[in-house]
Chain A
Amino acid sequence: MRSLVHYLTTLLALMVLVACGAAPTTTPVATPGAQLPAATTAPTAPTAASRGELRIGTGLSIPATLDVTQGSTGFTMITYGAGETLTRLTPEQQLEPWLAETITELDPNTWQVTLRQNVRFHDGSPMTAEAVAASLQDSLTALPGAKNFVPADTAITVIDERTLTLRTPAPAGNLPYSLANWNFVIHRPAQDGISILTGMYRPVSLEKDQEFVLEPFADYWGGPPPLARLIVRKITDGNARALALQSGDLDMLTNVPPDIAASLPADISQTSVPGTRLHYMILNHTRAPFNDVKVREAAAWAIDREALLAATLNGQGSVAANMYPPSVGIEIVPAQATDVEKAKRLLDEAGWVAGADGVRVKDGQRLEFTLYSYPGRPELTPIAIAIQAQLGAIGFAVKVEEVQDITSQIEGGEFQASMFSVRVASDPQYMPGVTLVEGASYNYGGYRNDALEALFKELQAASDPAERQKLARQMQEIVAKDTPNIYLVVPPLITAFNGKVVSGYTPHPDDLYLVTRDLKVTR
């Protein structure tokens, strides 16, 4: 018979976990990056009335509040068609205006935004330049991640009813991209805890950690949306989610793990595209063994990324050859691939000779390191273990250690190498800006390269897209020569849905633009 003791032990164990700071941490996500959109919708004449109810199941947290100035609510609001930004990215990762009609550079520090006409907020009030300026200011004040994209002391000035300017302290060529970030959802101050937004679906209720319900917004600038109701349910257990889709309790699942996707029956439609998240190994440049460029290079050449995909992600997703995922619309300079012979040669050249137990030695030092991982993304630790074997084959001794809170483990620089994962924005500036330049939020390994710093300054000031792409190429060439980190794989973004009921779903590298105008149900 189960007893009080058993039950309380379980609950208290949970409490101890939390009390020890071992609560499962969310993946350190570089503030979810620039985003992707659905097809452009020219305002159409009102068509048929909204029909049908779409029920989406997710394993991700539903926010505790519907106020976009809190946490990552803005992200959720765009995902489910409630919130919109001034610009957005197409599935091909091209930037396009959304609530803005045009964004023009007046001078290197000043951008002028002209707003789309006839846009209304959910409370019926018109979207004026005044309201947009207040919204942007509110985002910069309230959301700590916002200043990673737009400088905190940007001056926002209303010119007239439809025009405003943004003046940045230093040249900011990436501003149009930055305004697509979810931190800048255009909103009016929340009423009853629900932000007033402009999207096609209006949030109506939230049951904490359970259910989020939206209804169509009749005055939407793009015409009445197709769904009569949208219900998002959080179901923690992945198998239960999959079964609920098969039983008809749900119509669609987001972020399906590859192993569960593989178990779904044939009559369930699935789309899988490489996402915008990049899994990589952070190397510490301030201590052995990775303070030696030859050792860094050797490790990068020795890793078989295809094998990592096959072993941990069911062969889905894609391999990463440089600091940008292939899905973010930036031309990749291939740098890191697999060549085991070359890896061995590099270690020989650097003076590492095989010892009796197969581990290489140099000046009495063994070629060994600890590779940290964390459970935030389920595939990270299996990848780390596969790397342990692959590097072991050329004479490394790798110890894999999983910790709960990776950030607190490595932020002091007390590590040799660590698994890490970042959601990458499609702006070339984002990845070097948060991971490689001096003082970057995720530059835990103390990397510094003067040539890269200079290129980054140029990139910050460049506003011409072709010029930005050229600078991104040059930066990747430095990464190819210097191997600051080891880039591994891009996990897939899998969506599963009942094809008999759901139509008009366009897969997107980024899960931010899940619900689009074309998404319909037929029942």
Chain B
Amino acid sequence: MLAQLLARISGGLLALWLVSLLAFGLMALAPGEPARLLLIAEGVTMPTPELVAAKRAELRLDDPLPARYLHWLSGALRGDFGACYRSGRPVWAIYSERFPATLMLAGLTLALSLAVALPLGLIAAIRRGSVLDALLQALAVLGAAAPGFWVALILMLVFAATLRWLPALGSPTLAGMLLPAITLALPNVAVLSRLVRAATLDVLGQPFMVTAQAKGYSSREAVWRHGLPNVWPAVVTAITLEAAYLLTGTVIIETVFAYPGVGRLAVDAALLGNMPVLALCVLMAAGIYVLGNWLADLLMFTLDPRVRSI
């Protein structure tokens, strides 16, 4: 068991290291002279060749690539990811300003997803084969298949432009987060409700459920007291990974709703060639995923006695 955990942890660290290599490699290959861009961002309007040369030396841009990578990595490990090419500010500060908005949106999305997917999945399992079940399955397929940007525009058209109930543009307020959160929750609900349904069906067929019903529990009580605790482990991994996905900033949805999160930050940085910001977004995304995976493992370990016995 311990060996397995160690393998997981080292695997995650390896993934992070590989991503850091990629991020740095692309930053080093990007066109443009970082020293000149940074000088301009710091307010030097027409940097002289001497100034650029001095800045290059300061940033160690003339060192061989491996040395530059180590320098960048040691800075990154201390939380220094360099300065933004457009404002000259530390990119970590820029990222951490945007992260709360993404965090709030992810939280609301997950809450909405669970609130809808759990009951849907349970009902579908208990009423297996009914019209309701078929309908829910069809909805799930639709929800998973509809492209996010299209759903976003349709929701805007209906709830903002036509009914005027909600703002069309996203903002980190409850009203401003509802449309983006619904857009993001739809495919989630589709996936999660199928998962809950499958796990519940699995549990319903287990001998202990038959025993529970033989003891005189109604089927609803049986599901509630014995079934549900056994459904959780299956759902937990899915939710954790979904949370990780949402926390990396949902690039397309944040862009469509003009929502000020880290996903839009990454897109804007990419469009403007602002490499330090983009590199940090990539690194953070990888880090969040690795953490999410570890967390999922840990939760499985605590929730599911069968995993512990391995």
**At the interface with chain A, which of B2-10, B23-31, B102-110, B119-127?**
B23-31
Q: Enumerate A1-18 residues with CB–CB distance to B below 8 Å.
A: 1-4, 7-8, 10-12, 14-18
- Chain A residues contacting B27 (CB-CB under 8 Å) are 15, 19
Question: Do residues B258 and A236 form an inter-chain contact, with CB atoms below 8 A?
Answer: yes
Q: Enumerate B166-211 residues with CB–CB distance to A below 8 Å.
A: 166-169, 191
Chain B binding surface, main DSSP class: helix
- Judged by a CB distance under 8 angstroms, whether B234 is at the interface is no
Which of A61, A65, A239, A247 has the largest count of B CB atoms less than 10 A from its CB? A247
Question: Do residues A64 and B258 form an inter-chain contact, with CB atoms below 8 A?
Answer: no
- Against B, the Cβ 8 Å flags (1 = close, 0 = not) of A4-40 are 1001101110111111010110000000000000000
Chain A residues bordering chain B, tally (CB within 8 A) = 47
| Cβ-neighbour of B266 out of A14, A21, A70, A235 (below 8 A) | A14
- Judged by a CB distance under 8 angstroms, whether A240 is at the interface is yes
| Cβ-neighbour of B169 out of A3, A12, A208, A235 (below 8 A) | A235
- Judged by a CB distance under 8 angstroms, whether A125 is at the interface is no
B257 smallest CB distance to A (angstroms): 7
Question: Do residues B258 and A233 form an inter-chain contact, with CB atoms below 8 A?
Answer: yes
Question: Do residues A247 and B164 form an inter-chain contact, with CB atoms below 8 A?
Answer: yes
- Judged by a CB distance under 8 angstroms, whether B230 is at the interface is no
Question: Do residues A243 and B87 form an inter-chain contact, with CB atoms below 8 A?
Answer: no
Question: Do residues A240 and B169 form an inter-chain contact, with CB atoms below 8 A?
Answer: yes
- Judged by a CB distance under 8 angstroms, whether A207 is at the interface is yes
Would A16 and B26 be within 8 Å (CB), given that A8-B285, A247-B168 are in contact? yes
B140 smallest CB distance to A (angstroms): 14
A253 smallest CB distance to B (angstroms): 12
- Judged by a CB distance under 8 angstroms, whether A259 is at the interface is no
| Cβ-neighbour of A15 out of B46, B241, B258, B278 (below 8 A) | B278
Q: Enumerate B232-279 residues with CB–CB distance to A below 8 Å.
A: 238, 241-242, 244-245, 248, 251, 255-258, 260, 264, 266-268, 270-273, 275, 278-279
Inter-chain CA distance A193–B272, complex, in Å, is 20
- Chain B residues contacting A11 (CB-CB under 8 Å) are 251, 266, 270, 278, 281-282, 285
Q: Which residue of B lies closest to A11 (CB)?
A: B282
Q: Report the tally of A-B residue pairs with Cβ distances under 8 A.
A: 142
- Judged by a CB distance under 8 angstroms, whether A135 is at the interface is no
- Chain B residues contacting A120 (CB-CB under 8 Å) are none
| Cβ-neighbour of A21 out of B31, B86, B157 (below 8 A) | B31
Size bin of chain B's contact surface? 35 or more
Inter-chain CA distance A458–B45, complex, in Å, is 35
Question: Do residues B260 and A240 form an inter-chain contact, with CB atoms below 8 A?
Answer: no
Q: Which residue of A lies closest to B255 (CB)?
A: A236
- Judged by a CB distance under 8 angstroms, whether B295 is at the interface is no
- Against A, the Cβ 8 Å flags (1 = close, 0 = not) of B23-64 are 100110111000000001101011000000000000000000
Question: Do residues B169 and A249 form an inter-chain contact, with CB atoms below 8 A?
Answer: yes
Q: Which residue of B lies closest to A13 (CB)?
A: B270
Question: Do residues A23 and B270 form an inter-chain contact, with CB atoms below 8 A?
Answer: yes
B198 smallest CB distance to A (angstroms): 14
Inter-chain CA distance A243–B157, complex, in Å, is 6
- Chain A residues contacting B275 (CB-CB under 8 Å) are 15, 18-19
Question: Do residues A7 and B289 form an inter-chain contact, with CB atoms below 8 A?
Answer: yes
| Cβ-neighbour of B268 out of A19, A209, A248 (below 8 A) | A209
Question: Do residues B164 and A248 form an inter-chain contact, with CB atoms below 8 A?
Answer: yes
Question: Do residues A141 and B251 form an inter-chain contact, with CB atoms below 8 A?
Answer: no
- Chain A residues contacting B43 (CB-CB under 8 Å) are 67, 193
B212 smallest CB distance to A (angstroms): 31
Q: Which residue of B lies closest to A239 (CB)?
A: B153
Task: Name B's A-contacting residues (CB within 8 A).
Answer: 15, 19, 22-23, 26-27, 29-31, 40-41, 43, 45-46, 86-87, 94, 149, 152-153, 156-157, 160-162, 164, 166-169, 191, 238, 241-242, 244-245, 248, 251, 255-258, 260, 264, 266-268, 270-273, 275, 278-279, 281-282, 285-286, 289-290
Nearest 6 CB-CB pairings of A with B: A247-B160, A246-B161, A14-B270, A4-B289, A64-B86, A142-B45
13 other contacts beyond A142-B46, A240-B153, A246-B160, with CB at 8 A cut-off? A1-B191, A14-B278, A16-B26, A18-B273, A23-B270, A23-B273, A65-B86, A141-B45, A209-B268, A236-B255, A240-B169, A243-B168, A249-B167
Task: Name A's B-contacting residues (CB within 8 A).
Answer: 1-4, 7-8, 10-12, 14-19, 21, 23-24, 61, 64-65, 67, 69-70, 141-144, 193, 207-210, 233-237, 239-240, 243-244, 246-250
